[in-house]
Every structure is written in C-alpha cells, then in structure tokens.
C-alpha cells in the first residue's frame, strides 16, 4: 500500500484505547467515524483562540472566526466539486438537510397526484420527511423494489417514472447493507421526465470521491460525523436556481436582509437557509476533516478498505451458520448467525472490545422486505481499520458460536 496503516492510526486517538480489557476494535463506522487529531485541534483552537460569532461584527476574533467558518464552506464546495460555495448550506446533518428540502421545496412545489420515488434501501431520514410531505400535499410515494440479491431493481424502477414523477430521493450507499446504488442511471431516468433529484450521500462521502456536477443531481446531502468530522454539522448542496426559488425554512437572526414590523426581506444564498447562530466549531472541524482526507491517497485508502471487505466476506463465508445479507460493496456488512439473536452476539463481541451495531439500522422497511424482523448484526469499515481488526471480529464470532 502507498501508506502505513499503523502510522495513520496514530492520527486517531480514540483507536488507541482498550475496552473491557481488550484493544478497541471499532467496526461501527456507518454510525459515526472516529476523529483525527487535526479535527480535535481545530475545535480546540476555535474555542480557545477564535471564540466569537460570525459575520458583521467589527472586531478581530469575529473576523478570524468568520474567515475560518466561510473557509470551511469553500473546502466543502471543492471537496464535492460544487460550482460555488454559495450552493453549500450548513445544516445539523443529513436528516436536517433532507427535511430542509422536504419542507422548503417539497411542501411548496408538490401537489395532489404528483409522485415521489424512493427505494426500499432508504434510511428513515429519507423516508419519513417525504411521507409528511405526501400527507400534506396529496403527493404519492412510489418505492423501487429489490432484486433477489437485495439490490435495487433497475428494470422495475424504470416502470415507476412518468410525467407525474416530480422527485427522486435516493441514497448513494445503503447504510444497512453496504450496497452501492446505481444513482447515475436513476438520475438519468428522473431527468428524462424532468423530475428533481436528491442524493443522500451520508454513507458515500467517507469512502469514495463525490462530484455533484458529474452526478448532475439537484440536491446532495451528507453529515460531517460520517466524514471523520464533528457531530451536529452537515451539508446541503443544491443547484442555484432551485435554492433561489425555495423559501426559507427557518427564520430569525442571521438569515435576514432587513426587518421591519411591516415586512422582512431575506438574505441571499447561502444565508437565507441558515437562521440563528450556526455550528461554527462544527463547520471549522468539518473543514479540518476535509483537509485530512484530501491530504491522503484516496485511491490507496479505497483499495485498503476493499481488501478488508474481502477478508471479512471470505471469513464469514467460511462459517456455515453465518449468512451475509445482500452483496456488500463498501463500508457495511450485515449478517446473521443461525439461532443467535443479534444483540446477544454483539454483547459477547463487546466483551472482547469489538464494537459493532445491531438492529434495524434505521431501515425498518428494508428489514421488513427482507423478512428480518430482529434486524441484523452490522460491521462497518473505515480506512483506519486493519486486517487485525477483521481477524479479531472473525475470531470473536467463532468464539460466540461455540458459546451458543
């Protein structure tokens, strides 16, 4: 590999600890990633040296904070190849970004009989807001089904699009199964009927390059904490003409141009969608995380992750009573062990210092479609994981199988 994994791991202080008297094996990256020291330092520096509110204030600390805050916005724009930083809106995360689009675009643009296309693989955050919009507007939700291998059925999807289709909201990578969705093909289907497209990139940005212009999606959303940044910060990218047409979602300070008791005028992009004091430290921390990721050889990191994925899948396949769900391609692997409840297995793994996640993974409709009412066990990888981590997980599963 073009990098030293053990040296890279030193950048992530949390990975060096022990849990239950065992070295931590952190395999819950689809839920949140660990943070490199550069991010921790950026957060500390802001609060220790630059702590001030951004924009408009006429003093040095505010100027420094504003420069760092808006600099982070520009870093995000470059990272996802947005045409301009003004098209990057700060949110609290993917969920809030989807809700912003749902309530600002969906509630004001959709009407009775219009159709919203989702998929069976979606996270609840990309289902529930659209259900609310549909209930309020009379729009209809249609769902792309799965193939026998738990991937999206493109042939079935093609039959769902029509002149009534007004929105496609689709995840780029499944948080539950690690499936990479064919979003380019789906976006092309949507564009053919002049439908607006939203891509949930929460599980993609930490594993692969993202180019919103190449995707030609109308909206792209993700969370900072899935990209080795802080919690409580996220991104909405939108095409300028749509963002300009959309009314503000929340109102108050920061997002206004002028206020009187007679009327209020709103600020220009991106500020009209950023009411109140923003998560300044979070944005700066996300900018630092982007600096860190951008400084790496991302091709080498992706190759390393794929080697780990193959090691894990090969090891699980060698256990006759272990069943992998679907065809994982990146990040997450969901599996079950015959006659073992997922929570029981996860508890035994935790006793060995191995962190995985169990349950429905905020994807209950998917689990229902697969007949998995108890959910699954999910191990999810990041580039700082090692072959030893995977070996520890496989050994832990073996030990648990013997116990049960």
- Say whether pLDDT at 170 is over 80: yes
Cβ-proximal residues to 397 (8 Å cutoff; 6+ apart), any chain: 316, 319, 322, 337, 345, 349
Question: pLDDT digit string (tens) for 98-130?
Answer: 999 999 999 999 999 999 999 999 999 999 999
> In Å, how far from its chain's centre is CA 17?
26
Query: Which percentage of the chain shows pLDDT scores above 90?
Result: 94
- Say whether pLDDT at 3 is over 80: no
Q: Are the beta carbons of 230 and 35 closer than 8 angstroms?
A: yes
Measured between alpha carbons, how far is 358 from 350 in angstroms, rounded to an integer?
Answer: 12
Q: Are the beta carbons of 278 and 258 closer than 8 angstroms?
A: no
CB atoms within 10 A of CB 219: 25
- Say whether pLDDT at 401 is over 90: no
- Say whether pLDDT at 13 is over 90: yes
Q: What is the pLDDT of residue 404?
A: 79
Question: pLDDT digit string (tens) for 70-88?
Answer: 999 999 999 999 999 999 9
- Say whether pLDDT at 1 is over 70: no
Q: Are the beta carbons of 187 and 197 closer than 8 angstroms?
A: yes
Which whole number is the average pLDDT over 214-231?
Answer: 98
Domains of the chain, each with CATH number or no CATH = 5-30+297-403 (3.90.1150.10), 41-294 (3.40.640.10)
Distances (CA, A) of 140 to 105, 132, 157, 300: 16, 11, 15, 44
Please classify residue 63 by burial: count the beta carbons closer than 10 Å to its beta carbon, then call 0-12 exposed, 13-18 middle and 19+ buried: middle
Which whole number is the average pLDDT over 277-302?
Answer: 97
Measured between alpha carbons, how far is 392 from 400 in angstroms, rounded to an integer?
Answer: 12
Which bin fits 55, alpha (ψ -120 to 50), beta or left (φ > 0)? left
Residue 230: asked if its preceding bond is cis (omega within 30°), the reply is: no
Cβ-proximal residues to 42 (8 Å cutoff; 6+ apart), any chain: 284, 285, 287, 288
Let me know if 217 is a catalytic residue.
no
Taking the alpha carbons at both ends of the chain, their separation in whole angstroms is 39
Cβ-proximal residues to 400 (8 Å cutoff; 6+ apart), any chain: 337, 340, 345, 348, 349
Report residue 56's pLDDT band, with 50, 70 and 90 as the boundaries: confident
- Say whether pLDDT at 2 is over 90: no
Active-site hit among 31, 362, 369, 391:
362
- Say whether pLDDT at 253 is over 90: no
Which whole number is the average pLDDT over 353-376?
Answer: 96
Q: Mean pLDDT across the chain, nearest whole number? A: 96
Which whole number is the average pLDDT over 206-224?
Answer: 98
> In Å, how far from its chain's centre is CA 111?
29
If we measure between CA atoms, which residue out of 283, 332, 299 comes closest to residue 33?
332
Q: Are the beta carbons of 68 and 287 closer than 8 angstroms?
A: yes
Q: What is the pLDDT of residue 403?
A: 82
Q: Are the beta carbons of 121 and 127 closer than 8 angstroms?
A: no
Which whole number is the average pLDDT over 354-366?
Answer: 97
Q: What is the pLDDT of residue 354?
A: 98
Sign, Cα dihedral of 285, 224, 393, 386: negative
């Amino acid at each position: 590999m073009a990098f030293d994994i053990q040296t890279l791991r030193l950048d992530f202080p949390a990975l060096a600890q022990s849990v239950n008297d065992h070295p931590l094996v952190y395999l819950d990256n689809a839920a949140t990633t660990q943070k490199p020291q550069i991010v921790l330092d950026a957060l500390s520096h802001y609060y220790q040296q630059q702590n001030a509110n951004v924009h408009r204030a006429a003093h040095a600390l505010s100027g420094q904070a504003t420069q760092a805050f808006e600099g982070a916005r520009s870093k995000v724009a470059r990272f996802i190849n947005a045409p301009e930083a003004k098209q990057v809106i700060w949110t609290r995360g993917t969920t809030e970004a989807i809700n912003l689009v749902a309530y600002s675009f969906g509630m004001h643009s959709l009407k009775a009989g219009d159709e919203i296309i989702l998929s069976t693989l979606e996270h609840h955050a990309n289902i529930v807001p659209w259900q609310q919009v549909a209930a309020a507007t009379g729009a209809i939700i249609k769902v792309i089904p799965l193939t026998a291998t738990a991937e999206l059925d493109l042939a079935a999807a093609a039959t769902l699009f029509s002149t009534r289709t007004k929105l496609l909201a689709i995840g780029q990578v499944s948080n539950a199964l690690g499936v990479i969705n064919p979003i380019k093909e789906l976006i092309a289907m949507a564009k053919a009927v002049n439908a607006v497209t939203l891509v949930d990139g929460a599980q993609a940005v930490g594993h692969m390059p993202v180019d919103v212009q190449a995707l030609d999606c109308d909206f792209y959303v993700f969370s900072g904490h899935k990209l080795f940044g802080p919690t409580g910060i996220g991104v909405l990218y939108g095409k300028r003409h749509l963002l300009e047409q959309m009314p503000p979602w929340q109102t108050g300070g920061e997002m206004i141009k002028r206020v009187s008791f007679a009327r209020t005028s709103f600020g220009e992009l991106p500020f009209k969608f950023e009411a109140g004091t923003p998560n300044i430290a979070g944005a700066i921390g996300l900018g630092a995380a982007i600096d860190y990721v951008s400084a790496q050889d991302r091709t080498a990191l992706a190759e390393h992750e794929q080697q780990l994925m193959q090691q894990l899948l090969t090891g699980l396949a060698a256990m006759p009573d272990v069943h992998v769900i679907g065809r994982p391609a990146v990040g997450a692997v969901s599996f079950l062990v015959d006659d073992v409840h997922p929570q029981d297995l996860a508890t035994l793994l935790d006793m060995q210092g191995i962190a995985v996640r169990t349950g429905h993974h905020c994807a209950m409709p998917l689990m229902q479609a697969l007949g998995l009412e108890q959910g699954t066990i999910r191990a999810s990888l990041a580039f700082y994981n090692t072959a030893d981590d995977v070996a520890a997980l496989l050994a832990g599963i073996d030990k648990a199988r013997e116990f049960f």
